[in-house]
Amino acid sequence: MSSPSSSNPAGSSSTSSETPLRLPPLQQTVLDVATTDALFRDLAACTQIHAVVPKYAQRGHTGQENLSLENARTRLAAGLLLGVQIRYAYDGHTWCDTLLRRPAGLTLVRIREADIAATVESDPETSATR
């Protein structure tokens, strides 16, 4: 994975005294059809699904609609969705898998929600506004 760009995504000016942005760890890979099928089987059998939210447009947020896991898999395979976000519990943690159709195939980005919360809590600017 390439290293993050040095540009400031928040758009504020950067000084040498600022703490560098610390991003939460995430996993990312491109899935083939067999691995995608295995992922959906494992999610159905081994996790507690909280939400399956479709993404229809390239720009903009996901909809408020909540799909079944099987419906999301069918729609992704048929090309009816750009992507889907699946939130689930596994092994005592809540996870978020985002699947996006890309030219190279279906891209999976996985992050543990506790890592997101820890990053936000350790950010001095975010913590000061709470």
State the residue range of the domain holding 107. Answer: 27-128
| Number of structural domains found in the chain | 1
What single string gives the DSSP state of each residue in 30-99? EE-HHHHHHHHHHHHHHSEEEEEEEE-SSSS---S----HHHHHHHHHTT--SEEEEEEEETTEEEEEEE
The residue type of 18 is E
Please indicate, yes or no, if residue 35 is contained in any of the structural domains.
yes
Please indicate, yes or no, if residue 107 is contained in any of the structural domains.
yes
Please indicate, yes or no, if residue 13 is contained in any of the structural domains.
no
Please indicate, yes or no, if residue 14 is contained in any of the structural domains.
no
Please indicate, yes or no, if residue 10 is contained in any of the structural domains.
no
Q: What is the pLDDT of residue 130?
A: 46
Please indicate, yes or no, if residue 67 is contained in any of the structural domains.
yes
Q: What is the pLDDT of residue 27?
A: 86
The residue type of 19 is T
The residue type of 77 is A
pTM: 0.72
Give the CB-side neighbour count of residue 36, counting CA atoms within 13 A: 21
Q: What is the pLDDT of residue 41?
A: 97
Coil, strand or helix: which one is 27? strand
Q: What is the pLDDT of residue 13?
A: 42
Please indicate, yes or no, if residue 19 is contained in any of the structural domains.
no
Token readout for 60 is: 């903009």
- The low-confidence residues of the chain, meaning pLDDT below 70, are 1-22, 58-63, 120-130
Please indicate, yes or no, if residue 63 is contained in any of the structural domains.
yes
Task: Name, in order, each residue with C-beta under 8 angstroms of 127's C-beta and a sequence gap of 6 or more.
Answer: 121
